[in-house]
């Protein structure tokens, strides 16, 4: 199948391009490199042996998107293209609404008009907010979003559901709610490329281990968890990439009695505290990470991890790569980009 991968030069998109190719699909990247670098295409060429076909342009530009759909025989779409910095979205809400909602509407419109049958959307565990119970199930309520970014994921899910149901069977779609993606391809040639000071734990940790940052601050040790630090469900980006292949396979092969639109958690089902993650990194890499306890970060929730039964049962996917490997893969990637 020819799969259009919007945001395919980004962190999760680039790993998904690799897994799509390994699964026998042909990925076609659409990205304007607003949060990635063209050098990711070199990394992909090293892994795949050839450069994936790439269209450089903005997904909110309907004329540009139309030229791609006219030029290619597209069978399915994976829509990653979005901005993702929670704090920036609070400062610049219209930037986030325009880009994240505008790109979804534009790409979905072309998908429908060109009769493309399968669409996978990047949603996020952020839609659950502070959960009432753990592990989090897909049927648990979505809480009012605490940032414009989070709101774009809730609105995005709703747009996709409504559009899919209105298409009367011509489109089938899945929203994947990612928990916390970490890690990098084992070759060390592609990985996460945070621009500026990282907000997320693992890139901050690996930059500190590499000596680029003085010290990692652990945001709070007075949460109601076993060691007082926050708990998250860290999922290896290659496992996450494979969940997209499972979603597409399901959309292409589903019986007609399956729901046309569905949502799935993509997590390991296991919670890891910040302190445990730092300890695991130090043990697995042998590198000490200077760190100190600081105050809580505004907006952080205490614990968040997935019930991943639905995706295992229905799509046959479950996470396979352990946290230890995710952290050594992140470290290999960090060393490569620091060198
Ligand atoms: P990323 O920033 O590395 O990748 C996104 C890519 O989309 C970038 O290459 C960027 O240049 C491109 N892009 C953005 N807007 C575009 C536009 N209008 N036109 C063309 N290209 C555009 O981010 P990522 O971590 O790979 O995230 C991918 C998706 O997964 C996003 O939708 C994000 O919200 C979602 N998500 C990410 C996480 C996470 O922690 N990384 C968690 C949950 C959900
Ligand atoms: C993880 C844990 C921090 C940095 C974010 C988005 C979410 C989703 C994934 C897109 C928390 C702690 C962090 C540091 C720390 N993205 N931490 N020191 O906040 O769970 O989720 O990324 O959809 O929407 O909010 O991820 O990596 O920022 O934090 O102690 O320097 O690490 O408090 O407990 P988070 P994170």
Q: Which atom of ligand 2 is nearest to the CA of 277?
A: 32
Sign of CA dihedral 308, 192, 172, 108: positive
Question: CA-to-CA distance for 151 and 164, rounded, in angstroms?
Answer: 20
Mean pLDDT of 161-171: 96
Does position 256 have pLDDT exceeding 80, yes or no? Answer: no
Q: Which residues are identified as catalytic?
A: 149
Look at residue 266 in the predicted model and tell me its pLDDT.
99
Does position 175 have pLDDT exceeding 90, yes or no? Answer: yes
Cβ atoms of 147 and 92 closer than 8 Å: no
- Please tell me whether residue 176 adopts helix, strand or coil conformation: strand
The answer to whether the CB of 34 is under 6 A from ligand 1 is yes
The answer to whether the CB of 199 is under 6 A from ligand 2 is yes
Cβ atoms of 333 and 191 closer than 8 Å: yes
Fold classification of 201-230+269-306+325-338 (topology level): UDP-galactose 4-epimerase; domain 1 (3.90.25)
Specify the residue with its C-alpha closest to ligand 2, atom 31. 201
The answer to whether the CB of 32 is under 6 A from ligand 1 is yes
Q: 333 CA to middle of ligand 1, Å? A: 19
Cβ atoms of 257 and 304 closer than 8 Å: no
Antiparallel, parallel or unpaired: β 231-232 and 76-79: unpaired
CB half-sphere exposure, 212, CA atoms < 13 A: 14
Cα-flanking dihedrals φ and ψ of residue 43, to 5°? -60, -45
Asked whether the domain spanning 201-230+269-306+325-338 has the same topology as the one spanning 2-181+234-268+308-319, the reply is: no
Per DSSP, what are the bridge partners of residue 119?
77, 173
> What CA–CA distances, in Å, run from 216 to 18, 193, 254, 290?
32, 18, 46, 6
**Gap between the terminal Cα atoms of the chain:** 38
259: Cβ contacts below 8 Å, ≥ 6 apart: none
DSSP category for residue 296: P
Lowest average pLDDT, out of 2-6, 22-26, 32-36, 257-261, goes to 257-261
Which candidate, 193, 179, 320, places its Cα nearest to that of 246?
320
The answer to whether the CB of 172 is under 6 A from ligand 2 is no
DSSP category for residue 97: I
Specify the residue with its C-alpha closest to ligand 2, atom 36. 200
Look at residue 258 in the predicted model and tell me its pLDDT.
83
Ligand 2 pocket mutation, candidates 83, 156, 200, 266, criterion most atoms within 8 A of CB? 200
Does position 134 have pLDDT exceeding 80, yes or no? Answer: yes
Between residues 253 and 244, which one has the greater pLDDT? 244
Ligand nearest to the CA of 128: 2
Lowest average pLDDT, out of 37-46, 179-188, 220-229, 249-258, goes to 249-258
Q: Which residue has the tokens 């979003």?
A: 145
| Chain centroid offset of residue 41 CA | 19
Joined tokens for residue 119: 């669409």
Mean pLDDT of 51-77: 98
Look at residue 2 in the predicted model and tell me its pLDDT.
98
286-301 exposure pattern, b = at least 16 Cβ within 10 A, e = fewer? eeebebeeeeeeeeeb
Give residue-wise pLDDT tens across range 187-236: 999 999 998 999 999 999 999 999 999 999 999 999 999 999 999 999 99
Question: CA-to-CA distance for 215 and 194, rounded, in angstroms?
Answer: 17
Ligand 1 pocket mutation, candidates 9, 17, 35, 88, criterion most atoms within 8 A of CB? 35
Joined tokens for residue 172: 């089938």
306: Cβ contacts below 8 Å, ≥ 6 apart: 125, 135, 136, 179, 233, 265, 266, 267, 268, 269
Look at residue 254 in the predicted model and tell me its pLDDT.
66
Look at residue 14 in the predicted model and tell me its pLDDT.
98
Question: CA-to-CA distance for 16 and 239, rounded, in angstroms?
Answer: 9
> What CA–CA distances, in Å, run from 327 to 13, 65, 180, 249, 250?
19, 37, 13, 29, 30
Q: At what angle are helices 323-338 and 274-285 packed, to 10 degrees? A: 70
| Domain positions in the chain | 2-181+234-268+308-319, 201-230+269-306+325-338
The answer to whether the CB of 14 is under 6 A from ligand 1 is no
Look at residue 327 in the predicted model and tell me its pLDDT.
98
Q: What class has domain 2-181+234-268+308-319? A: alpha beta
Question: CA-to-CA distance for 309 and 140, rounded, in angstroms?
Answer: 14
Which candidate, 12, 10, 52, places its Cα nearest to that of 28?
52
Q: Which residue has the tokens 């601050």?
A: 217
């Amino acid at each position: 199948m020819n799969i259009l991968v919007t945001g395919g030069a980004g962190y999760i998109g680039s790993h998904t391009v690799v897994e799509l190719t390994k699964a026998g699909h042909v990925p076609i990247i659409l990205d304007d490199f607003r949060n990635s670098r063209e050098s990711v295409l070199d990394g992909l060429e090293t892994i795949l042996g050839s450069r994936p076909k790439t269209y450089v342009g903005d997904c909110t530009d309907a004329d540009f998107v139309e030229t791609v759909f006219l030029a290619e025989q597209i069978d399915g779409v994976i829509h990653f293209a979005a901005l993702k910095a929670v704090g920036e979205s609070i400062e610049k809400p219209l930037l986030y609404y325009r880009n994240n909602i505008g790109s979804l509407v534009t790409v979905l419109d072309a998908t429908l008009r060109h009769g493309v049958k399968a669409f996978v959307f990047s949603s996020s565990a952020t839609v659950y907010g502070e959960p009432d119970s753990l592990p989090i199930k897909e049927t648990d309520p979505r809480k009012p979003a605490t940032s414009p970014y989070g709101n774009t994921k809730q609105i995005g899910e709703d747009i996709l559901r409504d559009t899919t149901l209105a298409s009367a069977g011509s489109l089938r779609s899945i929203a994947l709610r990612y928990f916390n993606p970490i890690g990098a391809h084992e070759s060390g040639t592609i990985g996460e490329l945070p621009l500026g000071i990282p907000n997320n734990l693992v890139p901050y940790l690996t930059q500190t281990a590499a000596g680029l940052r003085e010290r990692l601050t652990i945001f709070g040790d007075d949460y109601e968890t076993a060691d007082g630090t926050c708990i998250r469900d860290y999922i290896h980006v290659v496992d996450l990439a494979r969940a997209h292949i499972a979603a597409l396979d399901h959309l292409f092969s589903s019986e007609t009695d399956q729901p046309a639109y569905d949502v799935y958690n993509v997590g390991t089902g296991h919670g890891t505290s910040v302190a445990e993650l730092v300890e695991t990194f130090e043990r697995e890499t042998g590198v000490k990470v200077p760190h100190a306890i600081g105050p809580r970060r505004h907006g952080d929730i205490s614990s968040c991890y997935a019930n991943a039964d639905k995706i295992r049962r229905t799509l046959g996917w479950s996470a396979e790569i352990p946290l230890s490997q995710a952290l050594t893969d992140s470290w290999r990637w960090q060393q490569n980009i620091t060198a």
